[in-house]
Amino acid sequence: MDSGSLSPARLAGIIAVTDPAVLCLEDTGDCRASPGLMHALGHPREWRVFDAARLSDLVHSDDVFDLHTALGAARAVSDHPPRLTLRLNHRNGDWRRFEARMHAADDMVIVALEDLTTLRQVEAALLDSQMRLHGLYDAAPVAIIQWTREGRIAELNRAAELMLAASRGDLARLKLVPTLIHAEAHARFAEAITQALSENRTTQLTCRTLRADGQELICDWYSMPVRTPKGGLSGVMSVVIDATDRIRSVESLRAAQSLSEQMSQAKTVLMAMLSHELRTPLNAILGLSELLIEVPLDEDTRREHLGDIAAGGRRLLAITNAILAYTEADSAPRDAAIEHFCAADALELLLETFAVNARRKGLDLDVRLEGCGAVEVCADRRSIERILAAVLDNAIKFTEHGRIEFSARIVGDAAGQLTLICEVSDTGCGIPQAFLVRDLFVPFRQAESVKVRAHEGVGLGLALAKKLADRLGAELAVSSTEGEGTRVSLVCPVQKPAPA
């Protein structure tokens, strides 16, 4: 605008419409303060005139000289109007700082003023607000991670540093995926973020999260878009909550519930089995006892019935012993039964009993002891014998004709570690493949094969053997073909006796 066209009347009209903070310094020395300026200084919104003598009532005395110097410069140079800072007197007695920009127009200089005191107060308040917000952000008890539109980590708070075992500097500018998100969750995480951006809402995803030290957490990620004032996408903010303990507690509860259900089922199976296995010999014992008491019988018949009663008693004792042995295996100390013995002597003594049982059924029991002659070992003899007894008992029980083979050997390695290897094979009915894979070592379980169910038992023999083998650090393996026979191997570490 041509400065020569700015008449006092037109100037007054502009000021009336725009209401700026303006000083009009006339060549006469008078100073006119606009309504906007008077209002900024705490006075009524009206024009005020200050003559040259009273200018110091408005402008700080130390700034008057600088003001006059700037006025002269403004009249001389119009292309680059001078600027300076003025202190003006507020109604409450304070001196407010204003930035003054001067423009020469006809017979006056117009001084446009911007209240620096208010601006600085606003800036200070904004800075204080930002500091408070950052303090809350950094002190938040949950991890907060901010990342850019390109997926790079921009900022994270102290809780996130602790959770991820990494500092801001370690993670800055790294890709959030795959730095923090496990590979199995990449696709699901990308889908959740796409949904959050497209629907402009917070999405939740639980996924495996990676720490800088290599550990894994299971975290809930709540992610939301961050928008600019104009609605553009600035980035994404994620609130991350460590759910590892919660999820593992839920998994533990589920496992406990599953175990409880299994135990309940096992109890049902046990009671159903015991109701049959116990009633049968008990009925025989009671029935034959009453018969012997009430009916006169010849000597041979009486002997036969007494033999049946004795067999029923032995069967009851066997069932009781099997159950007690299985429960005892859980409570016995692992190292309480370690003893020093000759391997060959112990095995031969054990096999004598089973050789008699095999002959009663017309079965051959072939024994091969290799390298066991006078070898002395230290081990849990009782547990080894109970494992082999259970295996041999099954072999004889489920074999109607043919033979049982038992072999044992002791081998040593370069480090001097000894291993007892025993194998038992039979030509019996074999084990159904489904039962072999799924239920072989499950207590109180028996195969549903007609040939198997024809034999007495509570389904604890191999379950006990497996439990004892695990306690010894041994390996018990079973292979079988239904209708052909079964092979069981025991590989058990033993120790050399300490030198005398």
pLDDT tens, position by position, 98-152 = 989 888 877 788 888 988 877 777 777 777 777 777 777 788 889 999 999 888 9
pLDDT of residue 15: 64
SS3 of residue 362 by DSSP: coil
291/356 same-domain check: no
Q: What is the DSSP letter of 7?
A: -
pLDDT at 2 over 80: no
pLDDT at 453 over 70: no
Determine the Cα–Cα distance for residues 388 and 426; give it in Å rounded to an integer: 14
338/417 same-domain check: yes
Asked which of 12-26, 200-214, 225-239 is least confident by mean pLDDT, the reply is: 12-26
Determine the Cα–Cα distance for residues 145 and 482; give it in Å rounded to an integer: 61
109: left (phi over 0), alpha (psi -120 to 50) or beta: beta
The predicted model gives 184-196 an average pLDDT of: 93
pLDDT of residue 31: 86
Structure tokens at 13: 């009209």
In a domain, 94, yes or no: yes
The predicted model gives 310-331 an average pLDDT of: 78
In a domain, 409, yes or no: yes
Kindly report the average pLDDT of the chain as a whole number.
Answer: 84
362/439 same-domain check: yes
263/320 same-domain check: yes
pLDDT bin (cut points 50, 70, 90) of residue 432 is: confident
pLDDT bin (cut points 50, 70, 90) of residue 328 is: confident
In a domain, 407, yes or no: yes
Which residue range is the domain that position 273 belongs to? 248-328
pLDDT of residue 335: 57
In a domain, 3, yes or no: no
Backbone angles phi, psi at 420, to 5 degrees: -95, 125
pLDDT of residue 207: 95
Structure tokens at 212: 């800088």
In a domain, 405, yes or no: yes
16/85 same-domain check: yes
313/359 same-domain check: no
- DSSP string computed for 367-436: EEEES-TT-EEEEEHHHHHHHHHHHHHHHHHT-SSSEEEEEEEEEE-TT--EEEEEEEEE-S----HHHH
The predicted model gives 77-87 an average pLDDT of: 80
The predicted model gives 304-316 an average pLDDT of: 88
Query: 394 near 462, Cβ under 8 Å?
Result: yes
pLDDT of residue 53: 75
348/324 same-domain check: no
Asked which of 28-32, 154-158, 447-451 is least confident by mean pLDDT, the reply is: 447-451
The predicted model gives 158-169 an average pLDDT of: 91
Number of domains in the chain: 4
pLDDT bin (cut points 50, 70, 90) of residue 187 is: very high
SS3 of residue 16 by DSSP: helix
pLDDT of residue 213: 92
210/72 same-domain check: no
pLDDT bin (cut points 50, 70, 90) of residue 181 is: very high
pLDDT of residue 77: 66
pLDDT at 3 over 60: no
CATH of the domain at 221: 3.30.450.20
345/489 same-domain check: yes
464/356 same-domain check: yes
CATH of the domain at 455: 3.30.565.10
pLDDT bin (cut points 50, 70, 90) of residue 455 is: low
220/296 same-domain check: no
The predicted model gives 214-243 an average pLDDT of: 92
Of 82, 116, 150, at which residue does a domain stop?
116
pLDDT of residue 436: 80
pLDDT of residue 1: 39
SS3 of residue 75 by DSSP: helix
pLDDT of residue 224: 94
pLDDT above 70 as % of the chain: 89
pLDDT bin (cut points 50, 70, 90) of residue 391 is: very high
pLDDT tens, position by position, 330-375 = 666 555 578 888 888 899 999 998 999 899 889 989 999 887 777 8
In a domain, 2, yes or no: no
Q: Could you give the angle at which helices 244-294 and 299-331 cross, rounded to 10 degrees?
A: 160
The predicted model gives 164-174 an average pLDDT of: 88
pLDDT at 186 over 80: yes
Determine the Cα–Cα distance for residues 475 and 480; give it in Å rounded to an integer: 17
pLDDT tens, position by position, 398-424 = 999 899 999 999 988 877 789 999 999
The predicted model gives 425-454 an average pLDDT of: 73
CA-closest candidate to residue 247, choices 216, 291, 211, 288: 216
pLDDT at 4 over 60: no
Q: How far is CA 352 from the centre of its chain?
A: 55
pLDDT at 191 over 90: yes
Burial of 212 (0-12, 13-18, 19+ CB in 10 A): middle
The predicted model gives 169-180 an average pLDDT of: 87
320/267 same-domain check: yes
In a domain, 473, yes or no: yes
